[in-house]
């Protein structure tokens, strides 16, 4: 493993922790040259389904893009990055468990909405306003009502 600070390939693993829920291994490392510490994560690389966009085009799944869109909705909200990563991992696990070769981006958006509703209600509204393309104040009011009474949430 190369040190991200000095580029040296001489690093030592200080601590290893497995996260069974997310199927990841966290390793705390120390560079032998510059003595700086950094963390790496190992994930099992399983085949993800291709995404079918609303216009019919297809694209590869991108974990970073999913994380970025959730972080954008959660911007300046009191939610820890670890919680967001956990939510992203749950969305990915749901996609894998579908067992399908292709999944619509609409379905992915629905999974993201569910996770955001659990993390932060404001982020849920932010994401919904873009995802559902709100055009009127009534659209916002309806989304707020969904958050207030989750049994009526749109599927």
Q: How far apart are CA 29 and CA 111, in angstroms?
A: 34
State the average pLDDT for the chain. 87
Give the DSSP per-residue string, the chain.
---TTT--S-EEEEEEEEETTTTEEEEEEEETTT--EEEEEEE--PPPPEEE-TTS-EE---HHHHHHHHHHHTTTSS--HHHHHHHHHHHHHHHHHHT-SEEEHHHHHHHHHHHHHHH-HHHHHHHHHHHTT--SHHHHHHHHHHHHSGGG---
**pLDDT of 124 above 70:** yes
Query: Average pLDDT for residues 75-101, to the nearest whole number?
Result: 91
Instruction: Give yes or no for residue 155 having a pLDDT over 70.
Output: no
The sign of the dihedral angle between the CA atoms of 137, 138, 144, 148 is positive
Least-confidence region, from 6-15, 117-126, 139-148: 139-148
Is pLDDT above 50 for 150?
Answer: yes
The answer on pLDDT for 36 being more than 50 is yes
- In the β-sheet with 102-104, what is the strand arrangement from edge to edge? 58-59, 50-52, 102-104
Confidence of residue 6 (pLDDT cuts 50, 70, 90): very high
pTM over 0.75: no
Residue 17, pLDDT > 80, answer: yes
């Amino acid at each position: 493993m190369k040190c991200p600070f000095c580029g040296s390939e001489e690093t030592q693993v200080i601590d290893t922790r497995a996260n069974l829920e997310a199927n990841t291994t966290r390793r705390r490392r120390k560079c032998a040259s510059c003595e700086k510490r950094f963390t790496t994560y190992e994930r099992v690389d399983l085949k993800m389904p291709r995404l079918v966009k609303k216009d019919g085009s297809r694209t590869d799944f991108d974990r970073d893009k999913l994380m970025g869109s959730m972080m954008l909705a959660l911007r300046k909200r009191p939610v820890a990055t670890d919680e967001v990563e956990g939510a992203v991992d749950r969305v990915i696990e749901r996609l894998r468990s579908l067992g399908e070769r292709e999944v619509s981006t609409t379905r992915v958006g629905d999974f993201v909405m569910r996770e955001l509703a659990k993390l932060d209600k404001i982020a849920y509204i932010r994401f919904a306003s873009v995802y559902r393309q709100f055009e009127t104040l009534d659209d916002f009011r309806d989304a707020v009502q969904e958050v207030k009474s989750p049994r009526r949430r749109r599927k």
